[in-house]
Copies of this chain bind each other. A is one copy, B any other.
Amino acid sequence: MQRLSALHDVPTLHNIQETHDAIRSMIHHTPVLTSTLLNDIAGAQLHFKCENFQKIGAFKMRGGASAAVRLTEAEKTRGIATHSSGNHAQAVARAAQVLGIPAYIVMPQNAPSIKKAATAGYGAKIIECAPTLEARESTLEAVVADTGATFIHPYNNYNVIAGQATAALEMLADMPAPDIVMAPVGGGGLMSGTALTTRYLMPQVELIGAEPKAVDDAYRSFISGTMQVNTTIDTIADGLRTNLGDKTFAIIQRHLDDILTVTEESIVEAMRLIWERMKIIIEPSCAVPFAAVLTNPDRFAGKTVGIILTGGNVDLEKLPF
């Protein structure tokens, strides 16, 4: 596998393109799907980039792979580490497995056992900690001190952002020229990567983020110009509960045209429409941009819109329908 240099600044178009070449064997080139029925309902031409079909079931594989192919030989020997109870844990574990290097994943004790098992299934070592951000960070620090592993932040990391940016690279190549490109905003890794790729390739396209009202730190940060934090995590869109980081905020602040926020009810309704009409399984987080389209019909009327569906890892026993 081709090794790339680690990034210490906002990824350029060249960085994103060479990342795509370097990680190609570790990811799927996922399809862009459309639905006449959903277009009729939305009054717009919607093109969904299906990262729910990505390896490990989510776009996070791109960022994990991008970080992994930038390790030096010495770093590879020591391995990679992160703290996550979700898709990023599996992405880091899987990237390490492909490269044949150690992975250390700090997970809260109360993380679902199925997630622990999936991560361990990729050969990663799981280190449990108390279920607080503080405990996660201090445990990770101890693991890194102990092993010398390289910490891969789930989003506030230019190597990771360059990986997430490759989803839009494929989407823009596989759909008609869009008027608008959308992604959900959690920590901002996908949104900032999507924004960079779109601005580089199609600077005239409108870039709109979408976020649950209940965790609208990005919206409030965007309109105030200073980083805000969430005071609750009370949303079904569990992938979007995190706050922006300084790197992702700076990119979002510079390149986005708008961030739209949506209610919990509209997320469930949008998710249900995609399940029922498109027959594909998506996480609640994926449905947030489509919910924004449905609740702002005038804004999207007649537009061609590219939307990144982020992942499909849902607990079938806890569906909101």
| 9-residue interface stretch from A197-205, A255-263, A274-282 | A274-282
Most chain B CB within 10 A, of A57, A276, A279, A316, is at A279
Kindly list chain B residues whose C-beta atoms are within 8 Å of the C-beta of A245.
none
Kindly list chain B residues whose C-beta atoms are within 8 Å of the C-beta of A316.
272, 275-276, 319, 321
Selected from B272, B281, B321, the residue in CB contact (under 8 A) with A279 is: B281
Chain A interfacial residues counted at CB < 8 A: 17
A43 at the interface (CB under 8 A from B): no
Selected from B31, B272, B319, the residue in CB contact (under 8 A) with A31 is: B31
Give bound CA distance, A316 to B57, whole Å: 21
Give bound CA distance, A191 to B187, whole Å: 49
Kindly list chain B residues whose C-beta atoms are within 8 Å of the C-beta of A276.
316
Kindly list chain B residues whose C-beta atoms are within 8 Å of the C-beta of A222.
none
Give bound CA distance, A218 to B160, whole Å: 54
Q: Mark A241-283, 1 if CB is under 8 A from B, else 0.
A: 0000000000000000000000000000000100110111110
Kindly list chain B residues whose C-beta atoms are within 8 Å of the C-beta of A319.
316, 319
Kindly list chain B residues whose C-beta atoms are within 8 Å of the C-beta of A275.
281, 316
Copies assembled: 2
Give bound CA distance, A281 to B316, whole Å: 12
A134 at the interface (CB under 8 A from B): no
Q: Mark A300-321, 1 if CB is under 8 A from B, else 0.
A: 0000000000001000110101
What distance in Å separates the Cβ of A61 from its nearest Cβ neighbour in chain B? Answer: 13
Selected from B279, B281, B312, B321, the residue in CB contact (under 8 A) with A53 is: B279
Selected from B272, B280, B321, the residue in CB contact (under 8 A) with A280 is: B280
Which residue of chain B has its CB nearest to the CB of A58?
B279
A87 at the interface (CB under 8 A from B): no
Q: Are B280 and A279 closer than 8 Å at their CB atoms?
A: yes
Kindly list chain B residues whose C-beta atoms are within 8 Å of the C-beta of A194.
none
Kindly list chain B residues whose C-beta atoms are within 8 Å of the C-beta of A272.
316
A52 at the interface (CB under 8 A from B): yes
Q: Are A52 and B281 closer than 8 Å at their CB atoms?
A: no
Kindly list chain B residues whose C-beta atoms are within 8 Å of the C-beta of A53.
278-279
What distance in Å separates the Cβ of A23 from its nearest Cβ neighbour in chain B? Answer: 17
Give bound CA distance, A319 to B321, whole Å: 10
What distance in Å separates the Cβ of A152 from its nearest Cβ neighbour in chain B? Answer: 24
Kindly list chain B residues whose C-beta atoms are within 8 Å of the C-beta of A282.
279
Complex A-B, nearest 5 residue pairs according to Cβ-Cβ distance, in ascending order: A279-B312, A279-B281, A316-B321, A52-B279, A280-B280
